[in-house]
Structure 1
Amino acid sequence: MSPEQVGLPPGGRRRTPGLRRGEVAELAGVSVDWYTWMEQGRNIGISAQVLDSLARALRLDDPERRHLYLLALDQVPARRTSGIPGVDPALQRFLDLQGASPAYITDQRLNVVAWNRAASLLYGPYEELDDRERNSLWRTFTSPGVKALLRDKWEAHARHRLAVFRAGYASYPGDPRWVALIGELTRISPEFAAWWPQHDVLAGPEGKKVNHHAAAGRLVFEQISFLVSDAAHLTATVNLPDDEETAARMRALLEVDGASR
């Protein structure tokens, strides 16, 4: 890019047509020395926040930003979003086709970004929740409704959620969005504050789950999760009814909801 493209004066003759180090550093809000050390590959603790500032300064598109992250941190970046990101329509259709099986999509920070009606009736209502309440880690540690749904299985579920979150956090150390969530939960949840320092790390589904819904009663599910192939920052989770009684109760719950709407 030329200086004129980013609103800088031409600055006289140049050996190359692109931006100088000092100009890139100024646009990214870092020192020239720090930017030079980053170019040289020194071990200076580059954060995702600074890389995003650099990507904005250089006006990188998504594939270029991904390449920058791989060069600097050997990891892919979080998806750039404003608010709750949408998902591919085909992925939403996949969720809807699960019918009586509650299904949803989460991002790296365990934000629920898409769901089907069964999931909303059992875990939600997601469509009425704000951004923070759609975060499944936040709801696990702050919502009385989640504790009522899980009863004596709440601690096992909460520890599993926390361990999955920590495994994801390892790829984004120092990211302000992750740090803010950790700080808030540490302040308001004694369980989170006690368990976070234990450094449990886990990935994958919980397996069999037992829920106690106020209207539908006892529900037993087998949970499966998998990464979305063309959007590796997203995880799809489907809770399959483990017996015919659970399936019938979920169908009845959907029928009552459909009639009321």
Structure 2
Amino acid sequence: MRLDKYLADCGLGSRSQVKGLLKQKRVTVNGQTETSPKRVIDESQTKVALDGEPLVYEKYLYYLLNKPKGVVSATEDKRFKTVLDLLDERARQKEVFPVGRLDIDTHGLLLLTNNGQLAHAMLSPKKHVAKIYLAQVSGLMDDSDSAYFAKGIELEDFTCQPAHLEILERDEAEQCSLVKITISEGKFHQIKRMVKACGKEVVDLQRLSMGPLQLDGQLQRGEFRRLMPEEREALEIFGVEL
């Protein structure tokens, strides 16, 4: 890998910006000052430092975001703020993207990364990656709805795979329910459509988990953090380079 690309990938700026650092003789390679951006290095073996501080190369980045409502799960949009707008400059430099999507009015866990292989594996229908949601519903859901979910609800354009509906609360006075729904697919507006097929309506939807990743209760809506080492290790089940 060229040294200027390595430095850019470490979050030190664009290719042109890191060339300035090299000209200023602030970069060392294996302890020796290096000024050429064309220097080829082995990112896994070569020791590179800026102003004496060792650099750690990261090929892939992973962000855990508590997506708020009103933000679209995209990298760019002409009308609305995107989830990428909520992250730091490092995320934009490394061109991270959301793994799957949440509707604009759905909030909760969203993983963003630049690891395309991981994204493909987590979204593959063959993997049956479980996604758990908390839904506030207008209407009283009951055991017959749970059975309907378990059977596989038939919608106009496709039949849903069997899903799990757990009824957490029922308020007969307010005619509303709080339920937890687990699905292994993620078609457009799927949960809202499944609940509607039961004659009820989702009024609030939050994603709690996706595969081994859980929503961090310390993150306020719109806040993010990088994945912790144990969370990255949990993603090893997908059998791709991390």
Q: Specify which structure has the higher proportion of strand.
A: 2
TM-score, normalization by structure 2 = 0.26
Greater length-normalized contact order (CA 8 Å, ≥ 6 residues apart): 2
